Structure 1
């Protein structure tokens, strides 16, 4: 029997144009800024395969401390493509889904701060209310409110 070497998920990376705007958006969503700094040099490029690179990052953490988003702004090399506003049926990584409380209040607040509701807030049986929003820079974000905990 093969041993499972997976211990946990460390983070999900999202490349953005404006790190300040992304930090503000995800803080409004409820994440905390855990740290911010530069990742640069040949060693980093060996990991990514991009060669010598300079990237400003911010690590955002969920209130429970278990999940993180690594927001990255590439200074060098420049970004070469943009998939942020791809529709929901596009190939590749699509969205990040967050468990939330009071989805109506949160969506209203995020819309006041520039987010757009993609479709509608819908109810799935008596289990969840959920929706997709386009947040900062058009990033697709899923929100799910569990109803059974109420």
Structure 2
């Protein structure tokens, strides 16, 4: 019997409080809105185990077209937990990391949109400058600037 092989990773899902704010935040980073829809009904609840659900979703795609974030806002059932304030060493989803061209320029723009730097921008050897940043709604992301790639 042939072993099943992985074909690709399609997306990472993130539940958000405001779809518009999340779209705006990830657009500022450089992702593009690929599509937006409402998902509801018994079939969707069979996938998630939540029963009859009503969810607004937006698919954001990276400029190269290879990576996506599926942003979801649950209308019903309502969200029941909030892990956005969890420290970076908490179990479970931590953050998505994005490689960008100019970390200082992007951090400056994101701070003007209400984001907060978690620690500081640091340099790892001669390879990267890195930081974690929280969007104004608490979502945690990582930014990486490859050194010597400009």
Name the TM-score class by shorter chain. Answer: over 0.9
2:79 match: secondary structure: coil
Contact 2:95 / 2:142 at 8 angstroms: preserved in 1?
Answer: yes
1:37 aligns with 2:37: yes
Structure 1 consecutive aligned stretches of length 4 or more whose deviation exceeds 4 Å = none
Q: How many residues align?
A: 150
After superposition, what is the alpha-carbon deviation per residue over 1:90-109, rounded to whole angstroms, capped at 9, x for unaligned?
A: 00011000011100000001
2:14 match: secondary structure: strand
CA distance in 2, matches of 1:25, 1:136: 9
CA distance in 2, matches of 1:46, 1:4: 24
* Gaps in structure 1 of 5+ consecutive residues: none
CA distance in 1, matches of 2:47, 2:6: 19
Deviation at 1:148, TM superposition (A): 3.4
Structure 1 equivalent of residue 97 of structure 2: 97
Task: Give the RMSD, CA atoms, in angstroms.
Answer: 1.2
* Gaps in structure 2 of 5+ consecutive residues: none
1:27 aligns with 2:27: yes
1:123 match: secondary structure: strand
TM norm structure 2: 0.97
TM norm structure 1: 0.97
Structure 2 equivalent of residue 82 of structure 1: 82
Structure 2 equivalent of residue 117 of structure 1: 117
